[in-house]
């Protein structure tokens, strides 16, 4: 009789105890739910990287490999850069490269995409620029080297940024300016010209 009573009490106490459910605050369920929520939230809030998701016909985009130093370039500045150019896509064929290309920013000295891809660049900046056809050679292409409607990719390093008169001298050619002044000095047209090694010494 006593044994039966004890079993009955145990059964009643077990039935009265709260049990974990899908909506209970058990520590295991809370961790799982929180983990799933944060994962979903991070996925929703993280935008696609426009550089990595670039596809033919996308807008111009660049990836900064080195930020450089000093003041950023502005329209009208003269930039000296080195670059490698290749077709964007599966072929990735390189079509051009230069160790020293000089151009004046925003004055039509080069293709629009090349120019725009260096907006705000500094000395020693390094960028990979992906350029859609409308900012490159468009539907015409460039001979047999660049097919029509080609997206291009350039790896560019800014070597120098010259402003004002220094930029104009860079565009015209510093060696030509020095040589011209030297010739004028030899001819006596500029007698007060400071000594130029190799010319009037």
Q: What pLDDT is stored for residue 115 in this prediction?
A: 97
What would the pLDDT profile of 86-116 be if each residue is shown by its tens digit? 999 888 999 999 999 999 999 999 999 999 9
Burial pattern 122-154, b for ≥16 Cβ within 10 A else e, equals bbebbbbbbbbbebbbeeeebeeebeebbbbbb
SS3 of the chain: helix, strand, coil, percent, to 5: 30, 25, 45
Q: What pLDDT is stored for residue 127 in this prediction?
A: 98
**pLDDT exceeds cutoff 60 at 186:** yes
Mean pLDDT, rounded, for 61-81: 96
Q: What pLDDT is stored for residue 185 in this prediction?
A: 60
Question: Whose structure tokens read 């291009």?
Answer: 152
What would the pLDDT profile of 4-55 be if each residue is shown by its tens digit? 444 444 444 444 444 333 333 333 333 332 333 333 344 444 457 889 999 9
Q: What pLDDT is stored for residue 200 in this prediction?
A: 42
What would the pLDDT profile of 127-179 be if each residue is shown by its tens digit? 999 999 999 999 999 999 999 999 999 999 999 999 998 888 888 775 565 56
Mean pLDDT, rounded, for 109-124: 96
SS3 (DSSP) at 15:
helix
SS3 (DSSP) at 165:
helix
Rounded Cα gap, residues 45 and 104, in angstroms: 40
Q: Which positions ≥6 away from 135 have C-beta within 8 Å? A: 60, 111, 112, 113, 116
39: tokens are 């994962």
**pLDDT exceeds cutoff 90 at 191:** no
CA 66 to chain centre: 9
């Amino acid at each position: 009789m006593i044994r039966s009573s004890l079993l009955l009490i145990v059964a009643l106490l077990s039935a009265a105890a709260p049990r974990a459910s899908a909506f209970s605050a058990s520590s295991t369920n809370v961790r799982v739910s929180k983990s799933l929520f944060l994962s979903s939230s991070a996925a929703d809030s993280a935008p696609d990287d426009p550089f990595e998701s670039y596809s033919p016909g996308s807008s111009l985009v660049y990836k900064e490999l080195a930020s450089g130093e000093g003041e950023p370039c502005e329209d009208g500045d003269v930039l000296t850069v080195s670059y490698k150019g290749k077709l964007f896509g599966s072929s990735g064929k390189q079509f051009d490269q230069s160790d020293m290309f000089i151009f004046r920013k925003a004055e039509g000295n080069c293709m629009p995409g090349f120019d725009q891809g260096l907006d705000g660049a500094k000395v020693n900046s390094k960028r990979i620029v992906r350029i859609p056809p409308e900012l490159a050679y468009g539907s015409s292409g460039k001979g047999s080297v660049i097919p029509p409607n080609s997206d291009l990719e350039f790896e560019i390093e800014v070597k120098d940024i010259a402003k004002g008169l220094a930029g104009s001298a860079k565009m015209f050619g510093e060696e030509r300016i020095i040589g011209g002044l030297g010739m004028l000095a030899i001819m006596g047209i500029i007698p007060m010209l400071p000594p130029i090694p190799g010319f009037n010494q």
